[in-house]
Structure 1
Amino acid sequence: MTGSFWWDLLIGIGAALLLSWIALVAALLVARPRGGLLREALRLLPDVLRLVRRLAADNSLPRGVRIRLGLLTVYLALPIDLIPDFIPVLGYADDAIIVTAVLRGVVRRAGLDAVRAHWPGTDDGFAAVVRLTGLDRR
C-alpha cells in the first residue's frame, strides 16, 4: 500500500470525527433547556450530581436507568469536555445540558417518587428539577 492510502485514511477518520462532533453539538443545542432554565440547571448542578449518585446506587430502579446514570457519572468525571470551556456560553454549560437531557429520560422512567426520595436539596430545587425534566407538563 502506498503512503497516500494512509493519508486518505487519516483524513477520512478526521472528517468523520469532526462530523460526529458537529452532530453532538447540534444535539446539545436542541436539547438545552430554554430561557432561564439553563441558568437554573447550572445553579442546581451540585445537588443534581448527588441525586445522580444516589439514584445510580438504588438497586430498586431498573438496570437501564442505573447504567445511564453510571455512564453520566463517568462522562462528568472525565477531564475532556464535549465542548471546550473556552467556547462562550456552551463551553461551561455542556455538562448541565447533558445532565438535564439524561435526567429527562431517567426521571420519566424511574418516576417522580424515586427522584423525590433521593433529592438532597431544597423543595425549591426539586421544583426546578421537575421543570427541567419536563415533568411539570404531565
Structure 2
Amino acid sequence: MLQKLKENVKKLKQETVPIYHALFDSRTPLSAKIVAGLTIAYLLSPIDLISDFIPVLGLLDDLIIVPAH
C-alpha cells in the first residue's frame, strides 16, 4: 500500500508541468489559474504540511491537495 501511495505522489508531481503550462494559456479562467498556481507552489515547496517521511500520513497530504486520477 505504501509503495502504491508513493507511486501516485510521484505521478502527481510529474503532472505539475502541464498544469504550469495551463497557467499561461489565455483560455484558462483566472480562478483556475489561481488554484493551479497554489497547487504547484505547494507541490514544489520544501515546506510540507506533514513531512513525507512519516509513513502514509506524509504522502496523504499531497494526495489530498492534488486529486489523483
User: TM above 0.5, one fold?
Assistant: yes
1:88 matched to 2:67? The reply is no
RMSD: 2.4
Identity rate, percent? 39
Structure possessing the higher relative contact order (Cα contacts under 8 Å, 6 or more residues apart): 2
Unaligned runs of 5+ in 1: 1-34, 101-128, 133-138
Residue 72 (1) aligns with residue 46 (2): no
More helix by share: 1
Letter in 1 for 2:19: V
* Superposition misfits of 4+ residues, deviation over 4 angstroms: none
Q: Runs of 5+ in structure 2 lacking a partner?
A: none
Deviations 1:3-56 (A, max 9, x none): xxxxxxxxxxxxxxxxxxxxxxxxxxxxxxxx9xx7363252243111211221
Instruction: Report the equivalent of 2:22.
Output: 55
Q: How many residues align?
A: 66
Q: What is the alpha-carbon distance in structure 2 between the residues aligned to residue 96 and residue 54 of structure 1?
A: 21
Please identify the structure whose Cα radius of gyration is greater. 1
Offset from partner CA, 1:55-106 (integer Å, 9 cap, x none): 2121211100011111112212221111122321121342233111xxxxxx
